[in-house]
Amino acid sequence: MPFSEELRALTTGDMPETVLRFRRLNAALAGRALRRDPEAGAFWVDGDRRTASVLGTLAEDHTFQWTWAVRDPGDPVCLHAGRLRALGERHGVPELTAPLVDLGGFADPRAAADVLAARVSGLLGSGLVIKYPHGGRALTYYFVEMPEAPPAPDEDPADERLDIVELGVPAPLPGALMEIAAPAVARTLDTGHALAAEVGGWRTVPAWEPATGVLDFGNGRTVAAAEVGLVRPDGVWEWTGGPGAERFRAAAREHGAAELAADRVDLSGHPRGAHVVEVLSRAAAHLGGASGHWAVPGDGGVRHFALTGAGLAEIGLSTLDRALDQAADIVQQLTAYPDRPPVMREMVRGALALHGFGVWQDGPDMLFGSVDELGGAGMGIGTHRYNVTFSRDATIIRTEFGPMTDFL
């Protein structure tokens, strides 16, 4: 699915220059302190203020929304998007005049969003596009007005690779620790979806019966469980025991996150505190050999339980897509950009293994799992296949399941 002829006619001539400018400016910004205030239309580089605004946002459904569609055109945050809209109206460019641009038809919608932002930036003068994650796998694209930077000594003018820098998530966890935790998040979400379908949804609050070690969902439905931790009303996480908790705490100490191994972990000021709780509790459940996880709110806070097996619902592939989707949103918000490729692949491998899939192919942009029709992992080609497609930035962008013959 290409961009419109109108957009290409208006921007193609600027693209080689834009690619070079981005590469030079990215190099010039390396190691410098960056700060942004979109509402004020400002961006600071080592204290030097630059004019900047938000071009738009890319959502998980692969739609790009221009800022002018949701903000007053006179707001500083809308400065450059408003200029692009006016250009689009003047030249009849559909991508610049539609509030939402659907990029789902591109093989890599996230890469397509980068190209769209780069193309239109060439219409705005000298500057740079920078993107930030803003929740889940969504991205916000900024245009920052900046003077031209000198060429690098080893610059290759023939190199046409587009590089838009994604600045990091706030307070990420160590990559090696996330490689351990990410599969646990996906697997426990998967089993949780199956149980939620039986007991009336995720918001169902069971009664904890410590004497018998079960969560009672009513109507005779109980699940064997063991408490792993508690989130107090003040935002402090408390470890409450179990072998999985001790294994995760040991891993946290080993991989540079000793603060997560303390008896009490203050997450009240963490920008992604709720996501950290998901990682701690689900990893502790999984590393202790449990199949699932459930959170139970009460007067003293929210207690988190490992579901140890007895009474768990049977899982099916109908839950896998949702589990991967939700796990990706949680994990990606706690994973630094350079660590994303191995972390996301470990997450997918763990989720597929729960359903008996063996990894058949593992390429740069796809991971293929295969399974035989008897339910065991496919040792060769298998009879069924589950494909997970990754964007250029290692984000999961689509999944597919079906008979192997559908993919040949």
Q: How high is the mean pLDDT in each 10-residue block of the chain (408 residues)?
A: 92 86 88 92 95 97 98 95 98 98 96 95 93 91 89 67 83 96 95 87 90 91 94 98 95 98 97 96 96 93 89 71 93 94 94 85 79 50 80 91 72
The token pair that represents 81 in the structure block: 């998007």
254 and 336, same structural domain?
Answer: yes
Domain boundary, last residue among 354, 378, 398:
354
219 and 240, same structural domain?
Answer: yes
193 and 151, same structural domain?
Answer: no
334 and 211, same structural domain?
Answer: yes
Q: Is residue 379 in some structural domain?
A: no
Q: Is residue 369 in some structural domain?
A: no
72 and 122, same structural domain?
Answer: yes
Domain boundary, last residue among 105, 131, 166:
166
In this prediction, residue 373 carries a pLDDT of 52
110 and 200, same structural domain?
Answer: no
21 and 100, same structural domain?
Answer: yes
In this prediction, residue 157 carries a pLDDT of 65
**Residue for token pair 């007895």:** 310
Nearest to 86 by CA among 61, 112, 118, 120: 120
3-state secondary structure the chain: CCCCHHHHHHHHHHHHHHHHHHHHHHHHHCCCCEEEEHHHCEEEECCEEEEEEEEEEECCCCEEEEHHHCCCCCCHHHHHHHHHHHHHHHHCCHHHHCCEEECCCCCCHHHHHHHHHHHHHCCCCCEEEEEEECCCCCEEEEEEECCCCCCCCCCCCCCCCCCCCECCCCCCECHHHHHHHHHHHHHHHHHHHHHHHHHCCCCCCCEEECCCCEEECCCCCEEEEEEEEEECCCCEEEECCCHHHHHHHHHHHHCCCHHHHCCEEECCCCCCHHHHHHHHHHHHHHHCCCCEEEEEEECCEEEEEEECCCCCCCCCHHHHHHHHHHHHHHHHCCECHHHHHHHHHHHHHHHHHHCCCEEEEECCCEEEEEECCCCCECCCCCCEEEEEEECCCCCEEEEEEEEHHHHC
In this prediction, residue 374 carries a pLDDT of 40
291 and 217, same structural domain?
Answer: yes
Q: Is residue 47 in some structural domain?
A: yes
Q: Is residue 79 in some structural domain?
A: yes
Q: Is 183 exposed, middle or buried (0-12, 13-18, 19+ CB in 10 A)?
A: buried
158 and 180, same structural domain?
Answer: no
Q: Is residue 238 in some structural domain?
A: yes
Whether the CA torsion 181, 184, 189, 192 is positive or negative: it is: negative
* pTM (two decimals): 0.87
Structural domain including 26 reads 5-166
Number of domains in the chain: 2
**Residue for token pair 């000594």:** 153
203 and 158, same structural domain?
Answer: no
Give yes or no for a contact between 110 and 303, defined as CB atoms under 8 angstroms apart: no
197 and 72, same structural domain?
Answer: no
In this prediction, residue 153 carries a pLDDT of 65
Q: Is residue 374 in some structural domain?
A: no
**Residue 271 neighbours by CB under 8 Å, 6+ apart:** 170, 171
Domain boundary, last residue among 133, 166, 199:
166
Q: Is residue 371 in some structural domain?
A: no
In this prediction, residue 311 carries a pLDDT of 57
189 and 123, same structural domain?
Answer: no
